[in-house]
């Protein structure tokens, strides 16, 4: 007999950027600034991300589209992979993600591929990545782990081996 299971997501919603500490506002501002460097001639949907490393260094990223749509890279993975290329043993403490042109009451959340990449990085570094998802002059969603957004993620145990 099947059992019904329930997944609950726990996150904070802040009314605005002003409700956050200065370090978090700075990270959101840098993500919004990174969105200006997005290459999005097809979708016109510019996304910026900024990853704060344990060392304090901040690595920005923006989405980079391609006429062959699957070949594009999202802002979150651009920032994440740049951070690991520069600081391969580094720890990503937090990441802000901003889509400046979005208005409304709910920030945009990462796509499924980015959620999986963020969760993989959490496992790689042995600790959570705090996410700040923001709208310019609007609310901010704060999660204490990327896994909050992907509770049934795929991992190396399903491959029958551990990463090297």
**How many angstroms separate the CA atoms of 146 and 95, rounded?**
10
Whether residue 103 is predicted with pLDDT greater than 80 in this model: the reply is no
Domain residue spans in the chain? Answer: 12-105+116-151
The pTM of this model reads 0.93
Q: Are 123 and 155 in contact (CB under 8 A)?
A: yes
Residue pLDDT, tens place only, 136-150: 889 999 999 999 999
Which residues are marked as active site? Answer: 76
3-state SS class at 42: coil
- Which superfamily does 12-105+116-151 belong to? Cytidine Deaminase, domain 2 (3.40.140.10)
């Amino acid at each position: 007999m099947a059992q019904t299971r329930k997944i609950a997501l726990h996150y904070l919603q802040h009314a605005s950027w002003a409700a956050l500490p200065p370090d978090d506002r700075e990270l959101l501002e840098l993500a919004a600034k990174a969105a200006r460097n997005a290459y999005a001639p097809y979708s016109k949907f510019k996304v910026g991300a900024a990853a704060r490393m344990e060392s304090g260094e901040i690595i920005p990223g923006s989405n980079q589209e391609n006429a062959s749509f699957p070949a594009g890279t999202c802002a979150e993975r651009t920032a994440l992979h740049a951070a690991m290329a520069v600081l391969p043993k580094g720890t990503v403490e937090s990441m802000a993600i901003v889509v400046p042109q979005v208005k409304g009451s709910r920030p945009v959340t990462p796509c499924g591929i980015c959620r999986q990449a963020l969760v993989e990085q959490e496992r790689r570094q042995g600790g959570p990545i705090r996410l700040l998802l923001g709208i310019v002059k609007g609310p901010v969603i704060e999660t204490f782990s990327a896994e909050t957004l992907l509770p049934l993620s795929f991992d190396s145990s399903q491959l029958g081996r551990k990463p090297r």
